[in-house]
Structure 1
Amino acid sequence: MELDPLDPTYVNERLSQPPFITVPGVVNVRDLGLYPSETFPDSVIRPGFVFRSGEISSITEDGKATLRELGVTTVYDLRSDTEIQRYETPSPDIDGVDIVRLPVFKTEDYSPEMMAKRFELYASGKTEAFMELYSQILDNGGPAFGTILRHVRDRPNEAIIFHCTAGKDRTGVAAALLLKIAGVSDDSIAEDYALTRVGREPARQMVMARLAQMPMFASNTEAALNMFTCRHETMLAFLSLLRDRYGGVEEYISTFAGLSPHDIQQIRTNLLISNENSHIDVSS
């Protein structure tokens, strides 16, 4: 079954390979570097610059040291105040690293009515339901994504990591925008998205325990398990949505994040390096 637990041996082996990075206390940490650009031949995403992950609230002291060793200067947290309060997962203090809160959704977006609708969409596990969710993320996330993009534009020597709770949906949208700016192919972006299925597996019991506290999931295990879906075709559908409804990545960033074509070009320049022999295998 698609959502049965993954084999632990496979998970441990996969997590020990790129693009996964081991940061003690944090799950689903990946380097977005080395993905090849389809649009700009012989160029790849610069490694060691942009990382994605699940929430970092449980990071250990060794994990904090690892972030510093990676050169991370800023953590961008896409979670809402409501999530942090509900799960009691405040951002940690990390010496030498700034924690910047960038909630995609405002407090009012977490009304009982809005939450019931959002969870209903998640619980369905259907691609069209996720497209409605991801459209909500795009409609609300422009300011947050714009802040991340401005960091890439202005501070190319200061590595970042961005995350939401699972590192799947809001984080996946942010990663897709960055990769698309750099001309990475849809298939490669979809493969990156699908890796969260492995990256999130160590937190499976914790996630299920959290969901069990919510009435609609407590009595519906299948709906809860659908929260783990990270299908390749879901991201492909999202990228089509980005093109068809929002005019593509550059038009979206211009309209929702307020960045100019010159800004986008500078972001692209800072993301890419020339290295025709570099590649990353995300399919093994």
Structure 2
Amino acid sequence: MTITPGDRAIAFSTVFNFRDLGGLPTVDGRKVKRGKVFRSDNLGRLQERDAEAFAALGITRVIDLRRVGEVASLGRIPEWTRVAWHHHHLEHEMWDHSTYTDEIGVARWLADRYRDLLETGAADIARVITLLSNVDEGPAVVHCVAGKDRTGLVSAMVLSLLDVPDDEIANDYALTELSEPAYLAWVRSVDPAEAAKAQPPFYTQTPADAMRLTMAELRERHGTPRDYLRRSGITEQTVERLRQGLIE
């Protein structure tokens, strides 16, 4: 089965992995509300020619998950967007790329990294979800550099609290890979030398099995994602506010 983002994906000139988390089904047959929470790659690349399209989304809040150095080198979302900018880096060690082998495979290697990030960044993830639960403050977008790993985990945790099935969460995660050709074409146009560098496969691949493993093993360690988030500082009031604001 081919998974496509349908009309949840939103195209900008130099932002390639932007999509609505709304429209995904819950286990009881309802859906996540559209136009409330978005996920994205680096919004520091947003161009003023995209101002009208961005404004049409009504976004009032941006939650930036990047490291301080990444924000400094890659830039914040432009001032002309007039959004509230919240910076919440998810605490984790830099990845040791030398540990990757083809025998381990992309899905297993990424799931191991996500496990570590869930453990060391738990308090930060809880703070981000608490921010997102303030739905009455307006639509929000969460992003990092590629919109893949940190953004993927936060999105997975939010969707799990909304009772979206793990397979749907994994399929949404996998959609990031569809954005890579457009991103690489842009890099070739602006920095051919950078584009020519060989990249490890986990840079550009987002196999659904990576998120399936992550969710299954999170349940083995913590019981449920909700149990994990409760231990990380998420209150029942926050969960209820998130559900009331984001489920149709």
TM-score class, shorter = 0.7 to 0.9
Q: Distance in 1 between matches of 2:142 and 2:100?
A: 22
Calculate the TM-score normalised by the size of structure 1: 0.75
Which amino acid in the other structure matches residue 164 of structure 2?
Answer: V
Q: Distance in 1 between matches of 2:43 and 2:25?
A: 28
**Percent identity between the aligned chains?**
26
* Equivalence map 1:94-133=2 (5 Å): 94-105=80-91, 109=93, 114-115=94-95, 117=96, 119-121=97-99, 125-133=105-113
Which residue is 1:137 aligned to?
A: 117
Residue 261 (1) aligns with residue 236 (2): yes
Measured after TM superposition, the shift of residue 182 of structure 1 is 0.8
Q: Distance in 2 between matches of 1:140 and 1:206?
A: 33
Q: Distance in 1 between matches of 2:185 and 2:98?
A: 21
Q: Distance in 2 between matches of 1:123 and 1:162?
A: 30
Q: Equivalent of 2:7, from 7, 14, 18?
A: 18
Q: Distance in 2 between matches of 1:23 and 1:98?
A: 20
Which amino acid in the other structure matches residue 242 of structure 2?
Answer: I
SS of residue in 1 equivalent to 2:14: coil
Which residue is 1:57 aligned to?
A: 44
Any unmatched runs of 5+ in structure 1?
1-13, 274-284
Measured after TM superposition, the shift of residue 165 of structure 1 is 0.7
CA offsets per residue over residues 102-126 of structure 1, 9 Å max, x none?
A: 11136xx4xxxx44x2x23467543
Q: Distance in 1 between matches of 2:134 and 2:140?
A: 12
Any unmatched runs of 5+ in structure 2?
none
Which residue is 1:44 aligned to?
A: 31
The RMSD of aligned alpha carbons is 2.6
Which residue is 2:204 aligned to?
A: 228
Q: Do 1:250 and 1:261's aligned partners in 2 also have CA atoms closer than 8 Å?
A: no
Q: Distance in 2 between matches of 1:89 and 1:260?
A: 34
Q: Distance in 2 between matches of 1:84 and 1:206?
A: 20
SS of residue in 1 equivalent to 2:167: helix
Measured after TM superposition, the shift of residue 136 of structure 1 is 2.1
Q: Distance in 2 between matches of 1:78 and 1:21?
A: 20
Q: Do 2:31 and 2:247's aligned partners in 1 also have CA atoms closer than 8 Å?
A: yes
Which amino acid in the other structure matches residue 89 of structure 1?
Answer: L
Which residue is 1:245 aligned to?
A: 221
Q: Distance in 2 between matches of 1:199 and 1:57?
A: 17
Q: Distance in 2 between matches of 1:238 and 1:169?
A: 11
CA offsets per residue over residues 54-75 of structure 1, 9 Å max, x none?
A: 0111101133332222010011
Count of paired positions: 240
Q: Do 1:54 and 1:167's aligned partners in 2 also have CA atoms closer than 8 Å?
A: yes
Q: Distance in 2 between matches of 1:77 and 1:44?
A: 26
CA offsets per residue over residues 176-199 of structure 1, 9 Å max, x none?
A: 111111111111111101100112
Q: Do 1:68 and 1:96's aligned partners in 2 also have CA atoms closer than 8 Å?
A: no
Q: Distance in 1 between matches of 2:30 and 2:152?
A: 22
Which residue is 1:271 aligned to?
A: 246
Q: Distance in 1 between matches of 2:79 and 2:17?
A: 20
Measured after TM superposition, the shift of residue 89 of structure 1 is 0.6
Measured after TM superposition, the shift of residue 207 of structure 1 is 6.3
Which amino acid in the other structure matches residue 239 of structure 2?
Answer: I
SS of residue in 1 equivalent to 2:200: helix
Which amino acid in the other structure matches residue 51 of structure 1?
Answer: F
Q: Do 1:74 and 1:98's aligned partners in 2 also have CA atoms closer than 8 Å?
A: yes
Calculate the TM-score normalised by the size of structure 2: 0.86
Which amino acid in the other structure matches residue 98 of structure 2?
Answer: E
CA offsets per residue over residues 5-64 of structure 1, 9 Å max, x none?
A: xxxxxxxxx67x4210123331100100011101xx231000000000101111011333
